[in-house]
Amino acid sequence: MSAVSHAAGEHRFLGGNRLQLLESGAEYFPALIAAIDAALHEVHLEAYIFADDTTGRRVAAALARAAQRGVAVRVLVDGFGAREFSEGLGASLAAQGVEVMTYRPEVGKLRFRRHRLRRLHRKLVVVDGRIAFVGGINVIDDFDDGKSVSARFDYAVGVEGPLVARIHANMRHVWRLVRWAHLGHRPSPPAPLPETPAVSGTMEAALLIRDNLGHRRDIESAYLAAIRSARRQIVIANAYFLPGRRFSRALLAAAQRGVSVKLLLQGRSDHVLLHYATLALYDRMLSAGVRVFEYEKAYLHAKVAVVDLNWATVGSSNIDPFSLLLSREANVVVRDAAFAKALHASLEAAIEGASREIRSADQRRRSWLARLASAAAYSLVRILIGVTRYGGKQYSN
């Protein structure tokens, strides 16, 4: 089956998978490096950020070891998020036999063009067509800010089973597109995919991607369907939360019909504009009965959700216009009670032990200057999305 036909069916659920929830880099990177060190044929990695720090060098060393023993190793990074990679770690890896490419390299940094906002934001790895990793964790130290005593709060999943073939096919498809753009001519057809991995467990899961072709709304639509069908509870943890009108209305409607809705958002902000824009949404959410928590222990980078303890998603997509309207993203959606309960327990522990609940009284105590800053930030983000002409009516009045 071709990569395109694989892509066309990525929203379909497949049974027979085993998914392992991995919380933050402390669990993710040892599993990733172990899989790379066990690779016999191929390692394919995509990352938005691939930092030249302790973690980045450890992962790069594992990739180099694989290449040196004859494994085909391909690394694709984003031209903005990993803009220094090609001249640093990337050049070193290329010299050791790793194929390295950059998605939309940054050129003419002082010139604004719409497509500069269309980034490769996915974090995907496939090893030997046998095991895959999907999530929100970049190749970067958990403590890169130099201040936090706790690791950045984030998730990935290790995937074994039939779903790996779909992840693999989509990664190879994007690799060919980028290679075509780099070389200026269509590359030769890809080698046949390995056989579909055997049944490894009992979990039903689907790969959801977002691109600007046939999958513009797949991730958002999956969220909306789950939220609209929720009967008991919704827990969303998201680093950059600035939903459009449909998403906001779905959450508010869920809360108003008696569903417990909890949002776990950033307490420490690493993008001030988006943080202040998000604050402009709090009053409306709180008045509808949505409970809002800010994670304060470290930076929150998660992009996960659990609905009714039987539906869960882990991936790279924020609930903001840049993820939902512009970037290439990838999420896994899981229909499995045990997995959903494990993610829910992890989120509840973070809410109870590392977060502060925002209440209406807190909002009333905010100064007029803080409120003005939030309103201005929200308006500015809407203007930026309007300039790109990708937002449609989602972020208009």
Whole-number pLDDT of residue 7? 37
Whole-number pLDDT of residue 283? 94
Give the percent of the chain with pLDDT over 90: 73
More confident: 29 or 375:
29
- What is the average pLDDT score of the chain? 90
Tokens of 378: 């929200």
d(CA 47, CA 55): 13
The one catalytic residue among 6, 44, 123, 168: 123
d(CA 132, CA 168): 8
Q: Which of these ranges, 46-60, 133-147, 342-356, has the smallest mean pLDDT?
A: 133-147
The one catalytic residue among 168, 173, 215, 303: 303
Average pLDDT over residues 229-245: 96
Q: Is 308 known to be catalytic?
A: yes
Return the exposure string of 323-338: e unless at least 16 CB atoms fall within 10 Å of the residue's CB, then b: bbbbbbbbbbbbbbee
State the burial class of residue 176 (Cβ atoms within 10 Å of its Cβ: 0-12, 13-18, 19+). Answer: middle
Q: Is 168 known to be catalytic?
A: no
The one catalytic residue among 6, 121, 173, 215: 121
In this prediction, residue 196 has a pLDDT band, given cuts at 50, 70 and 90, of confident
Whole-number pLDDT of residue 116? 59
Cβ neighbours of residue 75 closer than 8 Å, sequence gap 6 or more: 45, 46, 47, 50, 63, 90, 93, 98, 99, 100, 101
Condensed to tens digits (0 to 9), the pLDDT of residues 337-385 reads 999 999 999 999 999 999 999 999 988 899 999 989 998 988 888 887 7
More confident: 375 or 27:
27
How open is the CA angle 342-22-328, to the nearest 5 degrees? Answer: 110
Whole-number pLDDT of residue 198? 84
The one catalytic residue among 6, 44, 78, 128: 128
Q: In Å, how far from its chain's centre is CA 315? A: 4
Condensed to tens digits (0 to 9), the pLDDT of residues 262-295 reads 999 999 888 888 889 999 999 999 999 999 999 9
How many C-beta atoms surround the C-beta of residue 287 within 10 A?
12
Task: Write phi, then psi, for 264 (nearest 5 degrees).
Answer: -110, 110
Q: Is 271 known to be catalytic?
A: no
DSSP assignment of 239-293 equals SSB---HHHHHHHHHHHHTT-EEEEEEESS-SSHHHHHHHHTTHHHHHHTT-EEE
Whole-number pLDDT of residue 102? 96
Task: Write phi, then psi, for 183 (nearest 5 degrees).
Answer: -90, -20
Over 50: is that where the pLDDT of 69 sits? yes
To the nearest 10 degrees (0 to 180), the angle between helices 368-388 and 272-279 is 110
Tokens of 111: 């010139």
Q: Which of these ranges, 39-48, 142-151, 290-299, 374-383, has the smallest mean pLDDT?
A: 142-151
The one catalytic residue among 37, 270, 308, 362: 308
Whole-number pLDDT of residue 143? 82
The one catalytic residue among 301, 320, 336, 344: 301
Domains of the chain: 3-208 (3.30.870.10), 218-388 (3.30.870.10)
Q: Is 147 known to be catalytic?
A: no
Tokens of 279: 């604050």
Q: What is the CA radius of gyration of the chain?
A: 21
Q: Is 301 known to be catalytic?
A: yes
Whole-number pLDDT of residue 9? 42
